[in-house]
Structure 1
Amino acid sequence: MAQKSTTLAQALWNSADELRSHMDANEYKNYLLGLVFYKYLSDHLLYKAAELLEEEPKNLEEAQKIYEENFNNDAIRDILLSELQNTYGYTLEPHETYTAIIEKINNRTFELVELEQAFRDIEQSDKIYLGLFNDVDLQSTRLGPNPQKRNDRISAVMQRLEQVDLTEYGGDALGDAYEYLIGQFASESGKKAGEFYTPQAVSNLMTKIAILGKEDKRGLTVYDPTMGSGSLLLNAKAYSNQPNLIYYFGQEVNTTTLNLARMNMILHNVGIGQQKFRNGDTLDDDWPTDEPTNFDMVLMNPPYSAKWSASNAFLEDSRFAPYGKLPPKSRADFAFLLHGYYHLRTDGTMAIVLPHGVLFRSGAEATIRQNLLENGAIDTVIGLPENLFFNTSIPTTIIILKKDRDNRDVLFIDASKEFKKIRNQNEMDEGHIEKIIETYKNREFVDKFAYVAEFDEIVENDYNLNIPRYVDTFEEPEPIDVVQLSKDIQEIDKELEKNKKEFLGMMDELQVTEENKEIIDAIKAVFQ
């Protein structure tokens, strides 16, 4: 029996070693996530079957034997499969489990068609699983030029992952590891991975703010129209006191990324009745248009300064029509913001991450910004540290929007220094997040950190929301002690003269030859 002591993160990293030289991270990510998801489903099914049979296996191998023995009993099999289907919405035959396939791999009797069949059986068990393994192309020549090479490569990856019993992790812990995987590989995948990954600290900060006052709400609705892997949506579960009564809505233009979000929901035990997702372009194709269309929380991390059509037809679109002008074709930042704001409930809260340019750029964006400010829509502007995201080093801002506010002031928080450096990436820890949250709640002046600007002051600044206009972070330089500085310079000069004499003395001791005389004389001339 294999020793299952490897952490999930390490197993994933080791598995990636089997694929790195054959494809880029954005491709091998799909294989790893698909196989992790399959193993998760298989491991849970085996232990659940043993539980239903009132058995207590010590490991997956024992659970597999129990499952096989009872599956071959006609009287037990149908009842067992029915219970598993009702519990999880899928079943696997004993020879299709991850554990069974590993045994075949070890015996060198495994064929890829068996794994393909297992994927198909899961997908056909329930509509929630349809198409989830579409991106795991087991016949791709990137895995190998012939069936045997492809067979060997997938076998090696599965053996690496087999070192982890995924049932040792709770649903949330596995979801965290799943996001860790995306985060780790985002740096290799570049922009493609960054498009669907929001750093956990940023996700936590946005969610904690948006859920304030709604923690006890039953039937809380959360919407992300650029949802990526769904991490922003799922964060609501961590901070709600009614986590099993949340309804998630999301749209994603990339089909592969949409499937990642669907897997992520399953890994976090979100039922199909609580999730409503759509594959589509959020700006070109508004959704949802049927009830519900407005939500308690809107959370967004859209692609920064993306291009969009900005067709004049959008001036008749209810999302954009009230603002008189459309965001420019070259920068869709405000288009995403207005879409999310349109779908916010009157008593809801929206949090969106955008580049700082939206705070001060001119033209159509200035007109839209002025309109939002005059309506009291912009509640808070939070400046984040640079180099937080995998796909860009630029500093970003979180904008908090609300409807039906009593006033039109804006809270500015300069959190650009709230980070710790981890290797080449900046990260925010829980202390940084709590400092921002408390400042947001108190809504008071904090020297060099926060400022509440009244609407009249914003008008005086021509509706420019650039944070340094409101939060003064200038630090007075410490006075220079001229006397001490003079003494330090004299000491340095003495030390330099001493070192020069020692060096020239060493040069005099060198043996001078015709080959090195010219070089030695040149060096001495520099120091004399």
Structure 2
Amino acid sequence: MALSREQQTKMWAMLNQTRGQIGLTAYKDYIFGILFYKYLSEKATRWLEGVLRGEEWEIIYSQDPAKALERMKKNLGYAIQPNDFFADWKKAIDADRFSIGMMTDTFGHFNQQIAFEAKNDFEGIFDGMRFDSADLGANAQARAGVMISMIELLSAPEFDLSGSDDTVSDIYEYLVAQFATVLASDMGQYYTPKEISNVMARILTYGREDRENFSIYDPTVGSGALLLTTASYMKNSNKRGMIKYFGQEKDATPYRLSRMNLMMHGVEYNDININHADTLASDWPDGVVDGKDTPRMFDAVMANPPYSAHWNNKDREDDPRWREYGVSPKTKADYAFLLHCLYHLEDSGRMAIILPHGVLFRGAAEGRIRKSLVDKHQIEAIIGFPEKLFLNASIPVCVVILRKNRIESDILFVDASRDFEKLKKQNQLRQEDVEKIVDTVINRKEIEKYSHIATLNEIKENDYNLNIPRYVDTFEEEETIDLVGLSREMVALNSDIEKTESDFLSLLDELAVTPDTKDIIEATKAVFR
């Protein structure tokens, strides 16, 4: 069950009460890190309860530490030794023996007890927390005080993780969204509105919901929301090994958040493969091996890359990702991201990418790339969204849907820019708006002033310009004014006004005039004469 508005409000209020003077940018790294460690601790505790059958973990560990830890690592991908659990921190606080060194030791031990096959999933995941940082306080005592407040906060019933995986993921998603809202310039770029995520996910998975061994890839993975939303529409998403999650992220904070997010949504570590790398500078690791192009292909690819980003496009002509299409300008990497996604798409797959509208009509190198995509029949649909949907960008965006081996040459254009709910500072798609977009794209519907299927010849006539208004006419003619009728109404209205004034003056003449009212009555009559 989703968190109620009351729960959300209380959680955020509690967070703000405990952070003291710490800036939210620094605070988020600690709160997410500790919350995630609490999740791992409780997951390990549940596993131990199932396998120890009443025996004490401390006793089993003391008999053969290496064997005990190895068994846990084999099952969970990590191991937590006795006295290093989240609950142990809380016990130490209650007994007035907590120190900042306890947390330093705990994470040191944890980093040493990561299974080899889980290195990429857990290694460095807690690096955002620096327990000697001045952000926490001027001395060890002050820093310990801040940690105590966070641990006690996350021990409150509002942050109870003992329920279903849905409760855990709801808490995490709420916090990611809330921090992204407050820190739009810092985290907004990593957060895709859930309504757009749902549109993309439903289109990407349509007709393939029953697939097994389905792979999904986001080359600018951010918080991992697009991967999770896409997987949520697959019937086998809750079965281990059925869905494989791939992603890349060059920034350290979202790289950590994405892995936490996936695992707190119940995704097993061996189904996750997230790399810390610059997607454009470093192709997926197994793309070119020993000089031979052997790219990893994915069933669905989705992305919300930084808009019109600068990148190093020098000497990129021979890169297999762009060789057939051309290289994007150094000041606009939009098509570089698009072509990277397309390159890694299975022949039977589908991809969706969020981009600024400029990619639809800008010329030069981008125009040549666009022409090549159209001529290869690889653009399936283009959806235009309202402005102000994103936290860090007020401009409207579009979603481009592509497939590699389409036979059809037409393109569906959807102008969904006028359907939304206006909030205080932002706009938001309503459920009916999402349904209309998805239904229109899936069933390739033509709706007057909303969508149009353009033929290849029509696109060629527009010189390969894909700007949506060229294909979807949303112009509303103003109602014709009946000048004769309007003139008659004005004459009748003037006549009514004259009669009303005459009746009013007659009433004034009937009033008894006194020295006190004489001047007032005369002045009033003068106004209407």
Q: Are the counterparts in 2 of residues 346 and 403 from structure 1 also a CA contact under 8 Å? A: yes
Q: CA deviation at 1:303?
A: 0.3
Equivalent residue, structure 2, for 1:11: 11
Superposed, 1:440-519 pairs within 5 Å as 440-479=441-480, 482=486
Q: CA deviation at 1:123?
A: 2.7
Equivalent residue, structure 1, for 2:77: 89
Per-residue Cα deviation, 1:241-290 (whole angstroms, up to 9, x for no partner): 22231112211111232121111222123233322222111112222416
Equivalent residue, structure 2, for 1:41: 40
- Cα 1:364–1:465, aligned 2, differ >3 Å: closer, same or farther? same
Alignment-mate amino acid for residue 46 of structure 1: T
C-alpha distance in 2, partners of 1:381/1:49? 51
C-alpha distance in 1, partners of 2:494/2:36? 65
Equivalent residue, structure 1, for 2:154: 161
C-alpha distance in 2, partners of 1:205/1:344? 19
Alignment-mate amino acid for residue 184 of structure 1: Q
C-alpha distance in 2, partners of 1:357/1:149? 51
Superposed, 1:376-455 pairs within 5 Å as 376-455=377-456
C-alpha distance in 1, partners of 2:82/2:495? 84
- Cα 1:302–1:96, aligned 2, differ >3 Å: closer, same or farther? same
Q: CA deviation at 1:18?
A: 3.1
Per-residue Cα deviation, 1:407-441 (whole angstroms, up to 9, x for no partner): 21100111112322333222223322121111112
Alignment-mate amino acid for residue 136 of structure 1: M
Equivalent residue, structure 2, for 1:246: 243
**Which moved further from structure 2: 421-430 or 329-338?**
421-430
Q: What percentage of residue pairs aligned between the two structures are identical?
A: 38
C-alpha distance in 1, partners of 2:226/2:428? 17
Q: CA deviation at 1:81?
A: 6.2
Equivalent residue, structure 2, for 1:328: 329
Q: CA deviation at 1:54?
A: 5.5
Per-residue Cα deviation, 1:331-351 (whole angstroms, up to 9, x for no partner): 111111111111111111010
Residue 123 (1) aligns with residue 111 (2): yes
Equivalent residue, structure 2, for 1:203: 197
- Cα 1:490–1:137, aligned 2, differ >3 Å: closer, same or farther? farther
Equivalent residue, structure 2, for 1:28: 27
- Cα 1:95–1:328, aligned 2, differ >3 Å: closer, same or farther? same
- Cα 1:82–1:251, aligned 2, differ >3 Å: closer, same or farther? closer
Alignment-mate amino acid for residue 151 of structure 2: M
Per-residue Cα deviation, 1:496-521 (whole angstroms, up to 9, x for no partner): xx9xxxxxxxxxxxxxxxxxxxxxxx
C-alpha distance in 1, partners of 2:243/2:60? 40
Equivalent residue, structure 2, for 1:316: 318
C-alpha distance in 2, partners of 1:486/1:43? 82
Alignment-mate amino acid for residue 57 of structure 2: F
Q: Are the counterparts in 2 of residues 414 and 471 from structure 1 also a CA contact under 8 Å? A: yes
Equivalent residue, structure 2, for 1:170: 164
Alignment-mate amino acid for residue 235 of structure 1: T
Equivalent residue, structure 2, for 1:132: 125
Q: CA deviation at 1:75?
A: 9.3
Q: Are the counterparts in 2 of residues 225 and 300 from structure 1 also a CA contact under 8 Å? A: yes
Q: CA deviation at 1:297?
A: 0.7
* Aligned length, in residue pairs: 476
What is the TM-score with the length of structure 1 in the denominator? 0.83
- Cα 1:419–1:197, aligned 2, differ >3 Å: closer, same or farther? same
Equivalent residue, structure 1, for 2:56: 70
Q: Are the counterparts in 1 of residues 8 and 174 from structure 2 also a CA contact under 8 Å? A: no
C-alpha distance in 2, partners of 1:368/1:161? 50
Per-residue Cα deviation, 1:88-143 (whole angstroms, up to 9, x for no partner): 23333443222221232234321011122222333332233221111111110111
Q: Are the counterparts in 2 of residues 15 and 161 from structure 1 also a CA contact under 8 Å? A: no
CA RMSD of aligned residues (A): 2.9
User: Between Structure 1 and Structure 2, whose CA radius of gyration is higher?
Assistant: 2
Residue 294 (1) aligns with residue 297 (2): yes
- Cα 1:314–1:122, aligned 2, differ >3 Å: closer, same or farther? same
Q: Are the counterparts in 2 of residues 11 and 160 from structure 1 also a CA contact under 8 Å? A: no
Alignment-mate amino acid for residue 401 of structure 1: L
C-alpha distance in 2, partners of 1:397/1:329? 21
Q: CA deviation at 1:13?
A: 4.8
Could you tell me which runs of 5 or more consecutive residues in structure 1 were left unpaired when the two chains were aligned: 56-68, 499-528
